[in-house]
């Protein structure tokens, strides 16, 4: 039996089936997702530019937002371009084995880093609202840098575990992945070996990361709400709630679909592909939109940058 397995030629190319759609919708979906992708990249790059040029935004909160925007640019770039290729070309879904490994590794690295980053951002808001007088000393520049670096390190370790567990198995065929990017659950279905242990460990690690981060975020916001209710003025309470509302919106849009896909019994390929669009395509676009429209400081920085650009020709 072992000799037979060794004699089977291993898969060198995978084929992504892409999003389920009728042929008539291919061009429409391509146009929609192309526009969303371009807006996502431009929106997040604009946030990076605004924060870098405005010294008033050089604070821990916007340091974390810078990391978030940087992640979102690459998070959407890892999956969306390949999905667009699959929508317009019959061979657009072809992906070499090593490219699939790189995509899965990058996807889980960026996704888990973003997960940890949302947790750190909620902790930052907790300190800012619960301990306003001590916030500067508690969230110093060094602390902020260490927390940000910790999210990237934790994300890389989590990604290494997912990638190793997925691709340590032999893949002899078939090679058609029922998804629009390389992810662990659909790839494991193609393995030529028992995947129950791998699935259990992957389920456990993703469950610990996602559930743990979400629980910490919930606990942070329970404490935040308690602190806000102690604020005497209605204007102060409104300002505090508004500061946290943006973060709550993007957290729900990120964690909701992810928990639905990875932490529920049974996996439906079509449903998983559709739900995955929310946190791989729409959430990276939602971040700059929410933080721009709901954040007065970012709005003022944008207007200031606009005025500077307008003055350039006259000079």
Give the chain's domains with CATH numbers: 11-311 (1.20.1070.10)
Longest pairwise C-alpha distance within the chain: 78
The closest of 33, 160, 164 to 92, measured between CA atoms, is: 33
CA distance 46 to 72: 12
> Alpha helix locations (H) across 230-295?
234-262, 269-277, 283-293
For tokens 């526009």, name the residue. Answer: 35
**Could you tell me which residues come within 8 angstroms of residue 294 by beta carbon, excluding any fewer than 6 positions away?**
242, 245, 246
pLDDT at 129: 86
Q: Which helix (H) or strand (E) holds 95?
A: strand 94-96
Q: Which helix (H) or strand (E) holds 58?
A: none
Long-range contacts of 226-235 (CB under 8 A, 24+ apart): 227/129, 227/130, 228/129
The pair of three-digit structure tokens given for residue 147, joined into one six-digit string: 């927390």
| C-beta separation of 17 from 177 below 8 A | yes
What is the pLDDT at residue 7? Answer: 40
**pLDDT, one tens digit for every residue, the chain (315 residues):** 334 444 444 888 999 988 877 777 888 999 999 999 999 999 999 889 888 888 888 889 889 999 999 999 999 999 999 999 988 887 888 999 999 999 999 999 999 999 999 999 999 989 988 888 899 999 998 999 999 999 999 999 999 999 999 998 899 878 899 888 998 888 998 998 888 888 888 888 888 888 889 899 989 988 888 888 887 777 777 777 776 777 787 888 788 777 777 766 555 556 666 777 877 888 888 888 877 766 777 777 777 777 777 666 554
CB of 42 closer than 8 Å to CB of 284? no
Q: At what angle do helices 60-88 and 283-293 cross, to 10 degrees?
A: 140
Nearest to 298 by CA among 50, 55, 71: 50
Strand-pair partners of 14:
95
């Amino acid at each position: 039996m072992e000799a037979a397995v060794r004699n089977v030629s291993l898969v060198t190319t995978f084929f992504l089936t892409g999003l389920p759609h009728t042929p008539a919708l291919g061009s429409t979906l391509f146009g929609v997702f192309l526009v969303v992708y371009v807006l996502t990249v431009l929106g997040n790059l604009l946030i990076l530019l605004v924060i870098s040029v405005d010294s008033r935004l050089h604070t821990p909160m916007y340091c974390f937002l810078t990391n978030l925007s940087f992640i979102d640019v690459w998070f959407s770039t890892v999956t969306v371009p390949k999905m667009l290729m699959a929508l317009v070309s019959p061979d657009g879904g072809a992906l070499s084995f090593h490219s699939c490994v790189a995509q899965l590794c990058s996807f889980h690295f960026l996704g888990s880093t973003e997960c940890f980053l949302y947790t750190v951002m909620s902790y930052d808001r907790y300190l800012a609202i619960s301990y306003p007088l001590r916030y500067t000393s508690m969230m110093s520049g060094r602390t902020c840098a260490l927390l940000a670096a910790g999210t990237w390190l934790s994300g890389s370790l989590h990604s290494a575990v997912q990638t190793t567990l997925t691709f340590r198995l032999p893949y002899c065929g078939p090679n058609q992945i029922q998804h629009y990017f390389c992810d662990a659950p659909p790839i494991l279905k193609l393995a030529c070996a028992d995947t129950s242990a791998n699935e259990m460990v992957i389920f456990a690690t993703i469950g610990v990361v996602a559930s743990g981060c979400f629980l910490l975020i919930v606990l942070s916001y329970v404490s935040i709400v308690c602190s806000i209710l102690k604020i005497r003025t209605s204007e102060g309470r409104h300002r505090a709630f508004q500061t946290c509302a943006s973060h709550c919106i993007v957290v729900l849009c990120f964690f909701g679909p992810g928990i639905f896909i990875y932490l529920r019994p049974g996996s439906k390929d079509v449903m998983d592909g559709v739900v995955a669009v929310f946190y791989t395509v729409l959430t990276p676009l939602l971040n700059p939109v929410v933080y721009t429209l709901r954040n007065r400081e970012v709005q003022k920085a944008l207007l200031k940058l606009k005025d500077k650009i307008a003055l350039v020709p006259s000079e």
